[in-house]
Chain A
């Protein structure tokens, strides 16, 4: 810690001039001596002026322990089932007036739908601002980071919580859009942590001050925490839709199965839902430019659908696209994983 501080002192000297507007988060550094001497001048009978001085009264500023943790995630961080290296970003700032170590702890709230798996704390040691393989893991609950409140560069650290999004909720049901996982990063002064008891702000801990101060004083914020939330997103939600389109039959004008003008091609679209629920499912297929849709040819799971926009879910819109578009609108219901649909339609080669 000594080394860090001397280095930091040097840095402070050069950096303060450059970044005078970027005020340090701290007050007078621990160990600073504040001395004060009063003087008086007065006139004696006869007109001579003389001077006197008081003795110097001095005091040493002790170490003040304070820390601030802020979440850098403006909103919930969108994630999806099974996604790896999902990152929440925090900044831990030493708002005291000396070098202090802070123990970091990660906790997961049990009141949300899912917990992240393999969640770990990393310090942005390479200073990139984003989680990279070069960052250092800090063991939750035991690992600590050293921060120098009196340095413009060493006072704060960017901390990542990195985890893997599970494939299901905690209760093993499927994840759906909007499901949440809340994680908390806590930082506590190691000096206070080592005390073993809960201190009261203002409490003086003797013999442990840093920066030349004999003692440390527990500030009002000797520990602090901040939350970050992962949310199963709508765009990158857990559910996936698998679509395959295939040609299941070709009938040419001569009773054969060649692709020639006049041949009727039967397309099959297989749609299946996986990994969660889906809402607003709409299947559409644009008829290729060199083909004509065969009127009344839409089927869903074997049942015929009319081309008109009416009570059934199938529509052929001749004005959409070059040769019209077939749409199967299944948005009225929510479909869960495992649901599948088979759509067929026919088109004739021009």
Chain B
């Protein structure tokens, strides 16, 4: 029985990998505000040097479909790391619909429709309540790549 199952999986997976193969690379950056020569302050995503409480960390998740077919109904999922708080409105991603979870990824909703129960009352979730972010993309064509990102503050 066991052998048959493994064989079945193998035969199913092999042609599958050739059709659409999405891979993810997750990179963390230190987000700093840098004052330019002209006085304007711009945000820079720098290499992670040192991180201390209060610092802002940016995570960029690069995706690529190295298969030969389109991957559809793609959902990229990222939990908010422990000891960090999600920064409001920092999740971005081209051609993606972003939803959030405040219950460790069991349910997702848009930020404006995400509620939590606090002290017995239903309240709109605050950024610190958010536990997971999901970027939903309709499709990633064969050979296509892109990235989504979000920022957190180290507690």
Contacts and interface: CB of A to CB of B under 8 A. Distances in A.
Interface of A: 26-28, 32, 34-46, 48-50, 52-57, 59-64, 97, 204, 215, 217, 219
Q: Interface majority SS on B: helix, strand, loop or mixed?
A: strand
Contacts of B61: 38, 54
Contact of B77 (A38, A48, A55, A215): A38
A49 B48 CA distance: 35
Contacts of A37: 26, 78-79
B57 A59 contact: yes
Contacts of B25: 54-55
B42 interface: no
Residue picked from A34, A36, A48, A217, most chain B C-beta under 10 Å = A36
B98 interface: no
Residue picked from B16, B26, B27, B54, most chain A C-beta under 10 Å = B26
19 contacts: A27-B52, A27-B54, A27-B154, A28-B83, A32-B83, A36-B26, A38-B26, A40-B77, A42-B74, A45-B19, A45-B69, A54-B23, A55-B25, A55-B26, A57-B26, A59-B48, A62-B50, A64-B54, A204-B49
Contacts of B27: 57
Interface string B48-75: 1111111001010101000001111111
Contacts of A52: 22-24
Q: Interface majority SS on A: helix, strand, loop or mixed?
A: strand
B contact residues, range: 35 or more
A50 B16 contact: yes
B143 interface: no
A35 B74 contact: no
A148 to B, nearest CB: 15
Nearest to B61: A38
Contacts of B20: 42, 44-45
Contact of A53 (B24, B52, B73): B24
Contacts of B19: 44-46
B53 A41 contact: no
A59 B52 contact: no
Contacts of B78: 36-39
Given A32-B83, A38-B76, A61 B52 contact: yes
B100 to A, nearest CB: 15
B140 interface: yes
A36 B81 contact: yes
Given A45-B70, A204-B49, 7 more contacts: A32-B83, A35-B81, A36-B79, A43-B72, A43-B73, A52-B23, A61-B83
Interface of B: 12, 16, 19-20, 22-28, 48-54, 57, 59, 61, 63, 69-79, 81-84, 140, 154-155
Nearest to B76: A40
Residue picked from A43, A49, A55, most chain B C-beta under 10 Å = A43
A100 to B, nearest CB: 13
Nearest to A61: B51
Contacts of A53: 24
Nearest to A28: B83
A217 B76 CA distance: 34
B77 A59 contact: no
Nearest to A97: B53
B63 A40 contact: yes
A109 B147 CA distance: 59
A41 B77 contact: yes
Contact of B71 (A34, A39, A43, A61): A43
B81 A40 contact: no
A51 to B, nearest CB: 9
A14 B51 CA distance: 28
A57 B28 contact: yes
A61 B49 CA distance: 11
A200 B138 CA distance: 49
A41 B134 CA distance: 11
B51 A39 contact: no
Contact of A64 (B22, B53, B59, B84): B53
B16 A44 contact: yes
A61 B140 CA distance: 35
A48 B12 contact: yes
Contacts of A48: 12, 16
A44 B69 contact: yes
Contacts of A38: 24, 26, 59, 61, 76-78
Contact of B74 (A41, A62, A204): A41
CB-based closest 9 A-B pairs: A27-B53, A54-B24, A64-B52, A54-B26, A42-B71, A28-B83, A42-B74, A43-B73, A38-B61
A43 B20 CA distance: 9
